[in-house]
Amino acid sequence: MDYYVTILALYIVVAVVACWGLNLQFGEAGVLNFAYILFVAAGAYTTSILTLGHPSPGGLQEYFWGTNLPWPLPWLASAVVGGVLGIGIGAVSLRRLRGDYQAMVLLVISILGTYLVSAKVSLLNGATGLSQIPAPFQGVLHLGIIGYRLFYLGLSVVAALVVFEILRRIQRAPLGRLLRAMRENEAAASAVGHNVVALRLLVMGVGGAIAALAGAIQVQFIGAWAPSSWTYPETFGLFAAVIVGGRGNLGGVALGAFLVQGVFLEGTVLFPNIANPNLVGASQWISLGALILIFLWFRPQGVLPERRRVFGRQPAPGLLDPASIIGPVEGVSV
Amino acid sequence: MTAEMPLTAQSIRDGVETVRGTAVRVVELREVTVDFGGVRAVDRLSFEVLAGTVVGLIGPNGAGKTTAMRTIGGEVKPSSGHVLLDGHDVSGGPPHRVARQGLVRTFQLGGEFGRLTVMENLLVGVAELKGSTLLGALAGRRWWRQAEDAQVARARAILDQLSLADKEQTYASELSGGQRKLVEIGRALMANPKVLLLDEPMAGVNRTMARRIEEILQGLHRTGLTLLIVEHELGSIERLCDRVVVMANGTLIAQGDMRDLRAQREVIEAYLGGKR
Amino acid sequence: MSQVISSLGFGIVTASILLPAAVGFTLQFSTTNVLNIAFGAQMTFAAFIAYLCTQHGVPLWPAMVIAGVFGALSSGLLNRLLLAPFQRRGTSFFGMIVVTIALALVIEYVVEIIWGPSSVSYPLQGGKAVHIGSMIFSQEQLIVIGVGVVIALCTHALLRYTRIGKAMRAVAANPALAKSSGIRAQRVTDFAWAASGLMAGMAGVMLGISVSSVSYTMGDTFLIEIIAAAVLGGVGQVYGAMVGALVIGVLLEESAIVLSGAYAPIAAFAVLILVLMVRPTGLFAGTAKVKGIA
């Protein structure tokens, strides 16, 4: 039982981190990144090759290059790769294209990534994928299976907390307000002097870095990664979690990730003896679709809606002279 | 151009106090043409807006007024011709750069940020605020708090003037149509514009509210702000504007004082007459 | 060289399937402003309906027509029961995409539950292969090409000469103006969804014939190629979608020869991205439409 609980807990932490990154893009800034899972994959592959060591000719698996870095360098490097990739893909897809094109092109890019990695075996072992990816400190610590899992869970939670703090700061700062303004009305945001292209690239970068970190955490835990782990419908599962939990609310998104990714998707996989596994798989996706529809209809803001921002009432002295701003306005009674 | 002289004289005749010394062209359109896939929305449009004046842009539906506005704001790139702001070419934007240079525009419909509170709507109007960059945001509240507080105070003062003080924490989507227009005006003011471009600020707003918006615009005019207004309500245009530009089929057909324009046959035929 | 020409034959077959799909997808998008991610799933469902018919002794070609009718009816119903209510509620453009994604999941996995995860195939005659130059076609492939051409011509006639077709073009060009000039939006929308469902159904069966297998994920995979063709042609441009279908179809098959099979989709999609870098609105961008996209 503990065995399942630790696995499930880790999957949920990974899902929460991934959904937070997606929330920055979709929930806060209104950027619909249908290639999101690609960034999770980029992180997973980066951490894989940075921990697997040099590829040995004639070895079990092929990959273009590799080395062996100590934790947490692979995770950090993954975040950097995810961020750079986000800005790169953002520059290609978001800079010049209209909203509807952006969504479609990102979807195409996601598939393109899967095809490319599957087709070029020498790159990242093709469709078979990479395996035997080492976990950090596993050889050093002698903790037993459950003990090590708990240790690794601890590392992941620390990473998740760092991500949370970064996102909370962005959300509360004037930057977060600009992102929400862009979500509400892009043309109006640029008409008052904000560079919406730069803002979109920013969330592609930061969101991509967070996605990649989620992939890095996951891959060192399960020890394997293949194109089948990141097909594009996976992105929709993450979207579902963000919508159900509550776009724009970090706590809500975490709850959504827990409900959808943890209980709903992974939970049923981990307890396969309920029914015919094939049927479980399909009915799980059907109910996920139904869940999205139900929420969009009955509670489009999610379980925990975005919070209303309230500003304190301490007037700054010397700044409250209305005449200095727009002058006296006759006939406008307060 | 010789056109400056009679205009200045006219402005003075209308009792505008804010024309300082010689008339300065703030905005100037030179032969601006905009084509949309074979359709010529704006055709060699030239006019100028002098500092401190209120200029109205009128014309029947489909005359190209909104396209002209979007072109001035940098949202639409002219196929040929130039838009000058303080003598600098700003044609083709990008809009955020044009806005930073002092040309801020409001929208005909739905220009507010619906799921942002009124206060947040106004704060977005501030062009550069500490904490609006990634590093600034990550530095934490202590870094940007003071700058934001100052802007909050400024926004409150503006909201007072707009009689929206009690709506500070309301989502813009929950306001009436007229209040939304006011929020947009307030947001534009937060950006410290040189010229305010208003696209039908009184459209779809009840009479009382339209009157109030008019008074607020008059108040802004008195502080010396330059306004360019697209509007259908000719009464308001006549009361507000020092000069009116009439467009039809993408071109300028007349300009001058509203009272004189009412007497001109082309204008009546193209616009006033067509309505009755 | 002869390989290049013979794969041109495959390219034409693929293009003939892509054509109704991309036209249906883009026709419905331009009239209703809903980006329908469930289009691929609708194709799959209709393809299985045709399979069901052939299981009960209906010949393949009538089964294709039945699948088309089923596609049209189900698509019209889906709009009335699900999508239109969401739109009336003011669900945003992106919200509607998410709705169709959810719909795609539901349809796809309902198909899996009914017909199972493994693929099935239609009873094909085989028959004599037909040589045209160094291109070789099976008789079914020739009919697929024929159906594609007929659909292209019908679409052209529909848009050019019928009232409803003209109304659709008007709505696509300017929804507000069309409404104010007395076009009954409800009828146009219904028609657009039904037409796109019809084309999805036909294309689904054509795809099943061409790759000689039908599986629950088939439309899902094909959707990307449809989107590529539609985007390449310029979203909402029906004639653009036809050209896009031809280009993407031929590119897919040609690059399979010039490069290797695994790289074919990569080459086709890379071309799409490159084209968009040069022309951000696709090959046949029409008048700049102002639509509620945010």
Distance CA B167, CA B185 (A): 15
Q: Which long-range contacts (CB under 8 A, 24 or more apart) does C87-90 make?
A: C87/C32, C87/C34, C89/A297
The closest alpha carbon to B107, from B177, B55, B39, B157, belongs to B177
Distance CA A224, CA A133 (A): 6
Four-residue CA torsion sign, A273, A276, A278, A283? negative
**A44: which 2 tokens?**
């997973």
Distance CA B74, CA C101 (A): 36
Does B220 share its domain with B205?
A: yes
Residue C69 confidence (pLDDT) above 50: yes
CA angle C88, C288, C177 (to 5 degrees): 50
Which residue of B131, B189, B220 is in closest CB contact with A175?
Answer: B131
Does B85 share its domain with B196?
A: yes
A174 in B contact zone (CB under 8 Å): yes
Q: Which long-range contacts (CB under 8 A, 24 or more apart) does C111-114 make?
A: C111/C41, C111/C44, C111/C45, C111/C48, C111/C216, C112/A282, C112/C216, C113/A279, C113/A282, C113/A283, C113/A286, C114/C48
ipTM: 0.86
Structural domains counted in chain B? 2
How large is the average pLDDT for residues A2-24? Answer: 91
Q: What percent of chain C has pLDDT over 90?
A: 36
Distance CA A43, CA C219 (A): 29
By the 10 Å C-beta count (0-12 exposed, 13-18 middle, 19+ buried), B108 is classed as middle
Distance CA B222, CA A76 (A): 57
Kindly indicate the confidence band of residue A277, based on its pLDDT and cuts at 50, 70 and 90. low
* Residue B140 belongs to domain spanning: 115-174
Whole-number pLDDT of residue B145: 92
Chain A positions in Cβ-Cβ contact with residue B71 (cut-off 8 Å): none
Chain A positions in Cβ-Cβ contact with residue C227 (cut-off 8 Å): 104, 107-108
Which residue of A170, A191, A311 is in closest CB contact with B104?
Answer: A191
CA distance C253 to chain A (A): 15
Tens-place pLDDT, residues A137-172? 877 877 888 888 999 999 999 999 999 999 999 999
A193 in B contact zone (CB under 8 Å): yes
Q: Are A111 and C265 in contact (CB under 8 A)?
A: yes
**Which SS3 state, helix, strand or coil, does residue B140 take?**
coil
B109 in A contact zone (CB under 8 Å): no
Does B141 share its domain with B10?
A: no
CA distance A193 to chain B (A): 4
Identity of the highest mean pLDDT range in A122-131, B189-198, C96-105, C268-277 = B189-198
**Which SS3 state, helix, strand or coil, does residue B124 take?**
helix
Is the bond leading into A272 cis (omega within 30 degrees of zero)?
A: no
Judged by CB atoms closer than 8 Å, whether chains meet at A105 and C276 is answered as yes
CA distance C285 to chain B (A): 8
Does B24 share its domain with B152?
A: no
Judged by CB atoms closer than 8 Å, whether chains meet at A177 and B127 is answered as no
Tens-place pLDDT, residues C132-183? 877 788 888 888 999 999 999 999 998 888 888 888 888 877 766 776 676 7
* Of residues C179 and A223, more confidently modeled: A223
Which residue of A186, A288, A293 is in closest CB contact with C294?
Answer: A186
How large is the average pLDDT for residues A125-144? Answer: 85
Q: Which of residues 104-163 of A touch B (CB under 8 A)?
A: none
**A299: which 2 tokens?**
């509670």
The answer to whether residue B22 is domain-embedded is yes
Q: What is the DSSP string of A159-200?
A: HHHHHHHHHHHHHHSHHHHHHHHHHH-HHHHHHTT--HHHHH
**A288: which 2 tokens?**
């996920």
Tell me how many residue pairs between chain B and chain C have CB atoms under 8 A apart. Answer: 8
Q: What is the DSSP string of chain C?
A: -HHHHHHHHHHHHHHHHHHHHHHHHHHHHHHH----TTHHHHHHHHHHHHHHHHHTT--HHHHHHHHHHHHHHHHHHHIIIIIHHHHHTT--HHHHHHHHHHHHHHHHHHHHHHH-SS-B---------EEETTEEE-HHHHHHHHHHHHHHHHHHHHHHH-HHHHHHHHHHH-HHHHHHTT--HHHHHHHHHHHHHHHHHHHHHHHHHHTT-B-TTHHHHHHHHHHHHHHHH-TT-HHHHHHHHHHHHHHHHHHHHHS-GGGHHHHHHHHHHHHHHH-TT-TT--S-------
Cross-strand bridge partners of residue B49: B27
Q: Are B76 and B67 in contact (CB under 8 A)?
A: yes
C227 in A contact zone (CB under 8 Å): yes
Whole-number pLDDT of residue A127: 87
Does B15 share its domain with B102?
A: yes
Does B71 share its domain with B38?
A: yes
CB atoms within 10 A of CB A58: 6
Q: What is the DSSP letter of A127?
A: G
Distance CA A123, CA A159 (A): 28
Which residue of C104, C112, C281 is in closest CB contact with A282?
Answer: C112
Distance CA C68, CA C80 (A): 18
Does B76 share its domain with B198?
A: yes
Does B42 share its domain with B122?
A: no
**Residue located via tokens 């005006």:** B185
What are the domain boundaries of chain C?
Answer: 10-227
Which residue of A98, A108, A185 is in closest CB contact with C272?
Answer: A108
Judged by CB atoms closer than 8 Å, whether chains meet at A286 and C276 is answered as no
CA-only gyration radius of chain B, Å: 19
The answer to whether residue B37 is domain-embedded is yes
Whole-number pLDDT of residue B261: 81
By the 10 Å C-beta count (0-12 exposed, 13-18 middle, 19+ buried), A328 is classed as exposed
Judged by CB atoms closer than 8 Å, whether chains meet at C262 and A292 is answered as no
Judged by CB atoms closer than 8 Å, whether chains meet at A180 and B113 is answered as yes
Q: How far is CA C58 from CA A179, B149, C53, C238, C287, in A?
A: 57, 75, 5, 33, 46
CA distance B52 to chain C (A): 33
Whole-number pLDDT of residue C278: 78
Judged by CB atoms closer than 8 Å, whether chains meet at B149 and A314 is answered as yes
Whole-number pLDDT of residue B3: 39
* Of residues C288 and B219, more confidently modeled: B219
Chain A positions in Cβ-Cβ contact with residue B125 (cut-off 8 Å): 192
CATH number for the domain spanning B57: value is 3.40.50.300
Best B97, B113, B194 residue to mutate vs chain A (most A CBs within 10 Å):
B113
Does B13 share its domain with B94?
A: yes
Distance CA C73, CA C42 (A): 11
